[in-house]
Structure formats: C-alpha cells, structure tokens
Structure 1
Amino acid sequence: MTEWARDPGTDGAGNWFRFFVGPRPEDSAGEPAFPPLDDVGATITDTLRAQLPAAELFYVSANLTDLASHAATTLTDYRLHPEDLPAPVGFLVYEHPPVAGTANARHDAVSVVSWGPGRGGLWVQAWGTVPDPEPPAVEVGRRLARLPRDYALSQMRKAAALNLPVPTPDNKPASHDDTVDQGARHILATFLRNAERAPIPPSFAPPHGYEWCGLIPMLFTEMKGWPSSLAEGTSAVDIDAQIVLQRTILTTWLLLGQTLVRSERTRAPRAARRRVERYDPALDTAVRLVDLRRARTTPADRSQGDVGAGTREYHHSWVVRGHWRNQYYPSRQDHRPVWIADHFAGPEDKPLIGGERVNVLRR
C-alpha cells in the first residue's frame, strides 16, 4: 500500500483518487477537514503517502474483534483523547470484518483501518477487500483502461446519451446478452464524469487488493465523524452502519489499552521481510498481534479478597455481564470508559443464583 501511495503513475493512489474522488465531492461541502479551495483527492493522497510508511501495524484476533463489536453497542458518547490511540499513526487489520453493511457493489465489508493526524484532530481511513469474484464494474473498467483515452471517452458519452436504467427484475431485457450489454452501458455512463477528469486506473481496484471505503475525520472534541464517507446518495441504513463502524473502531482502541488484552510483537515471515526491505529498508515489518487474555473470575480492578467484602453479607454468588464503567483519571481530569468483562461476583462458597442451566427435552 505504501508503494501504491507513492506511485505517480496512472495505477498509483494519486490518479486513483483523482478518478474516483475528484477535487471536490459534494459530500465534502462544509466539512472542516477540507477548506473550499482544497483538492480533496490530492489531500487524501498526500496524507496516505506520509502516514502509511510511518504506521505501527496491528492484527486483531477474531475473539477481540467479536468483543469490540459487542461492546460498541453499549458505548455511550465519548470525547476521544489522543492518548486513547494505541499508536499516533497506525494500521489495523481485523481477522474478520467487525461490522456488516459497510460494503457497496465494489468492495466487501471494512476489515482494515488506518489512522494518523489530520485537520481537526484525527483522520481515519477505512478499507475493504475486493470481492471474489470481482464485480462487473472492475472488469469493465480494466477493459476501458486498455483502450485509447479518446475512444473510451466517446464510448462512455454514447452510453450516457442513451440514459438506460440499471437492469432489474422489473425491466430486465429479454435475452442474457442484452442484459449484459445494458449493464455494461450503465457502468460506462456512471464513470463518464470520473474519466473526464483523470485517466482510468489500469487495475481499476487498487493493485494491492484493498479498496478505499471512506475517510472519517474524528475530532478530539466529539464522537461525530463523517458518516457518508464521501459517497453520494448514501442511504439512512448505510449511514447507521458507518456510525456503528466508527463506534467499533473507537471501542477497539479503548480495549487495546486495557489489561484484558494481551499484545505480542512479532515479525513478518522472512520472505515478506525481504520483499519489503528490497522496496524500502526503512519500513517496519514488525506487527503487534492483539488478543484477549484468559477470562478472569473477578474483574481486573478487584482482588479475590475484596469480592463480597463490606457491611453486607451475601448468601449467593452471581454472574456479572460485561459492561462499560466510566472511570475517572486524575491525570487528565476526565473520565474514560473501561470495559468490565464477564465475571463471577459474591462469596465463592455460596451457591450461584439460578444454578447451572440444563435444557430438558420432553415428549
């Protein structure tokens, strides 16, 4: 991805963002991260070119990914602090996508997050893998990129002039070939404006295999980000999914700073290290693998002797479900959410409320 960000050619990030994002997307109107005279696509490219080589690498296990997804559903609005980040500049890969519904026709759900300093506080970039099999738009785009530019533009303008609808079960042409032709012409018309402002990227999807899914400028003064992620016509359902993704990312950062998570620093395989070193010896090939520690029987901030201590005498033990607790930190004179994992509470020698659950099947 660093190589792609630095590539000045038509398949590099600069041309990719000029083609797909452009200088001034409608969604960027009024966004404080981009003043009116900014070239948005160029600004994002310059940011990635600086941040990707400097990013600390993280890999989040499936167990920790699931916990972050679950805990995010009960995380209240929270003022993000710079010290909440596991690294000032980072690149984090989830073992599986943490939130469904963050995909569109050109990429799978978000599974990679990169971040670093930006205007207003923090810029978070979301990435998804290109689906397999690849969508028709990718194949059409690659074919167009192989044509002379003027000829490709003329074909796209002809398709746009027809103003054909997207093939659906209600307006589907009679034959399969006609359906394919109508779909291809619709794709041609869709990307006409993109092709008029920049050459068509030969790979159409980034050659490293990850699709850029959007930018979320997160201010350190509020939770609100940029739910539309530079996409036009975003539905309410998609916006809700993006907000859930933002909360899941924030939850992941908070969990990485707690003792319930264990971190192991490891190096990439030798073949991968040699490949990276040949490209740029300055790039760090170490990765922090993060996973959950073994479950505790008591919360991390309480000793076994403290359970059930006090003036009240308990006659049962019970299960406390995972939840957030707002803990005050005098060092920054503010509260920070701390996740309290599932644990047993009450005297160990007393019966568990409800006992063990047994399912009985009767005829």
Structure 2
Amino acid sequence: MSLQADAARAASTRKQLLTWFTGSMGQQTMRMLMNERPLSPQQLRVAEQVRKAQSQGAYTPGEVAREQQELTATAEQLAEIARVGTQAADLYLAETSMCDLIEQAGPTMPDQPLREDDPLSPYGLVFFQQPLADIGVHALPIEAMLWYPLPPQRPSSIEEDGICILPWVSTKAVADATGQREIVGTFPKLYCAGSVIWPYGNKWGQMLKGAPPHEGANPEHYQQLLAAFWALSRQDNIAASELGPAVKKGEAKRFANAGITKPEQPVRIVRLNRRQASDSQGKGPTDSEVNWKHQWWVNGYWRNTYYRSIDDHRQQFIPGHWKGPEDKPVLGGERVTAIKAPRRDTDA
C-alpha cells in the first residue's frame, strides 16, 4: 500500500481504536491492563470466605466486593482518560525508512528524564508503516503507539504527573499467538498490548500500578522506541515531515460525531530527510586540514547535547558517516588475496 494510502487509513483506524475505551469494553480493557480481572459471583463468595478466614476476627463483611467496586471505578476512569486522549491525539505516520532508523537507533538511546516538551505534541498517535520489533514472550510487531498526558482528575493510585503510553499490535497476530481466534472480527484490527505510565522527571518509567508487563512485553522498550521517534523527528538533518491527504468532508463529519477534537486535521507523515542526512554524512570541516591516510565508516551514535533554548541537555543522534579523505583507502576493508599459478620451469 502507498504512503498516502497508509496515511489516509490512519485517520480511520484512530476512530476504530475509540471502541476500546467506550462502554463496558473500555472498563474491560483497563482491567486487563491492570492485570485485575473481575470476579464471578462464585469467585467473589470464595474470595470473601478466604478473606474472613485470614483476617482472624478483623473481617468486615463485603470487603472483597467493595475492592472490586473500587477497581471497576478506577478502570472506568482510566478508560475515559484514554478515550479523551485518543480523540485529541495528533496523528503521525512514520515512513518505512524512518521505522528502520528507529529500530537501529532506539535500542542504543541513552536513558534521560522525561520532559513535558519531549513529545512531538501533548497528545499523539503514531502509526508505523513498517511495524517495529517488540521484545518479550510473544514479541508481536508494534503497529502504533498512543500517548497522552495524565489529567489532574485521575485515580489516586497515580500520584505523579506524566504521560501514558499505549502500544498497539495486530489483533490477528494476538489471535495467532494466543489461540484466541474469536477476537478477530470482534475487536478492531489493532489490539491494545499494554499500558505504561511515565512520570515527568523520571527515566524509563513503570507499568500501570506496578502490574507485570502484559503478555511478557517490556514497558521500557516502548518508552525507548517512542523517545527515539520523538528525538529523531525533531532533527532537521534526519527527518522531514509533510501532511498526508486531506480528510474528505464525509469522513470529517464521522470523526466529529465520534468526538475527535480535530476531525479535519490530516495525518503528518514523518520520513528521512535524505538530502540533509546525506550532507551531514559527508566529510567534516577538519578532514582537509588533517593528514589522514585512510577513510573509515563511523556508526551512528547518540550524543548528549546542550540546548540553550531549554537550558538542558537532550540526546541528539549523529548519523553514520564516512570519515577521512575520499581519495584514501578504506580502513578495515576486505582483504583480497591474489592466487597465482606456479611458474613453469622452461629449462626442464
């Protein structure tokens, strides 16, 4: 599928994702991400009996039922926050070459505390034209990531301000990995694979309420890849952005009816800025001044750079490039061995 078609599809996919946070499905989704499944009436009775036996006379009837009600209220509140975050998100599409760079540079990006201005926009949803590799038990490719700030009106269990990250994988891939074939056609094509809370001022954050990673996923991996996408997208020598196709009037009306904040806003496509990246990979200003005898390849790397505009240091990616004079031999190149036939003795 073409880049423009993928960009157009992203807006429609966002509308589908709202299903996850609407009504009873929203509560179920957040209960799942909290690793807290609702108890059946029979399970509730057994849990109350166990609690009573363990309390040694300090048991108050209905303790477990009240805890379940609190969990339900928390799940409903979190689902509403996620729904609003999805509606308000600016949409991005990372082009395939950009996805390649994120996968190469992301895992080596040094940890750094999260700033409020690190995300490209306060609310955002990025789709990856080429899904990013995940790590963990199932390691399902990451199709998209949603982020949004935590509002003041949130569950008391989340004390610090910060952002929430929701990674998305293919629902079909989940069905194939878990054997839950019934979810295909029942749920949207993308499946919410986890939830990560990242407080401002903290380095790689923590899972929601300290729950274990969903399906063996690694929450730090999500944060690192998303932080790399933000940082790389801001570097003019690496990334360039353009607007995708305009949203048709009929679609914009449907998006507005779904509560989407900016129904007519097109998707922003983020791709590698090949011209500037090529320029930045050329010889440095001192190459002609130093009497180097070889040229060699320098792998891309991250550098902690001071930015006067924010009076702080942030990670900047230095693309891979050739170093040294172009007319010199390549250091570390392949060695070619010439094999000659033995010289024939003509006097014999």
Q: With structure 2 as the length reference, what TM-score do the two structures score?
A: 0.67
Distance of 1:94 and 1:218 partners within structure 2: 21
Residue equivalent to 1:94? 128
Tell me how far apart the structure 2 counterparts of residues 291 and 332 of structure 1 sit (CA, whole Å): 25
Which whole-Å deviations, capped at 9, do the CAs of 1:123-179 have from their partners, x for residues lacking one?
11111121169455352x79xxxxxxxxxxxxxxxxxxxxxxxxxxxxxxxxxxxxx
Structure 1: how far apart are the matches of 2:95 and 2:14?
A: 24
1:56 counterpart = 2:98? no
Compute the displacement of 1:316 (Å): 2.3
1:227 Cα shift?
4.3
- CA apart distance, 1:338: 0.8
Corresponding position of 1:137:
180
Structure 2 partner of 1:308: 287
Deviation per CA, 1:49-107, whole angstroms, max 9, x where unpaired? 22222211111112211211111221111122222211121110011221234575xx9
Judge conservation of contact 1:214–1:229 (CA < 8 Å) in 2: no
* Cα distance between partner residues in 2 of 1:263 and 1:334: 25
What amino acid maps onto 1:111 in structure 2? Answer: E
Within 5 A, what are the aligned runs for 1:258-269?
A: 258-259=235-236, 260-268=238-246
CA RMSD of superposed structures (Å): 3.7
Select the residue among 22, 25, 38 that pairs with 1:16.
Answer: 25
| Structure 1 residues 79 and 360: CA distance shift in structure 2, 3 A | farther
Matched, 1:284 2:264: yes
Corresponding residue to 1:320 among 298, 316, 319: 298
Task: Identify the structure with bigger relative contact order (alpha carbons < 8 Å, sequence gap 6+).
Answer: 1
1:114 to 134, 146, 149: 146
For 1:14, the aligned partner's letter is G
For residue 255 of structure 1, what is the aligned residue in structure 2? 232
- Alignment match, 2:323: 345
Residue type of the alignment partner of 1:50: V
Q: Partners of 2:174 and 2:194 in 1: how far apart?
A: 22
- Is the Cα contact below 8 Å between 2:193 and 2:214 reproduced in 1? no
2:74 is aligned to 40
Preserved contact between residue 23 and residue 40 of structure 1 (Cα < 8 Å):
no
Shift of 1:358: 7.2
Match of 1:222 among 196, 199, 202: 202
CA distance in 1, matches of 2:148, 2:128: 18
Identify if the C-alpha distance between structure 1 residues 42 and 316 changes in structure 2 by more than 3 Å, giving closer, same or farther.
Answer: same
Who is 1:161 aligned against?
A: none
Take 2:169 and 2:251, find their aligned partners in 1: how far apart are those partners?
A: 23
Residues 1:112 and 1:103: Cα distance change in structure 2 (over 3 Å): farther
Gaps of 5+ in 1: 28-35, 143-202
Count the aligned residue pairs.
Answer: 278
- What is the deviation of 1:122? 1.1
Q: 1:234 to 1:56 in 2, by over 3 A?
A: closer
Give the equivalent residue in structure 2 for 1:69: 103
Work out whether residues 58 and 92 of structure 1, in 8 Å CA contact, stay in contact via their aligned partners in 2: yes
CA deviations on 1:15-41 (whole Å, 9 max, x unpaired) are: 1132343399457xxxxxxxx967332
1:199 is matched with which residue?
A: none
One-letter code aligned to 2:293: H
Amino acid paired to 1:53 = Q
Judged with a 3 Å threshold, the aligned counterparts in structure 2 of structure 1 residues 304 and 111 are, in CA distance, closer, same or farther, namely same
By how many angstroms is 1:329 displaced?
Answer: 1.2
The aligned counterpart of 2:312 is 334
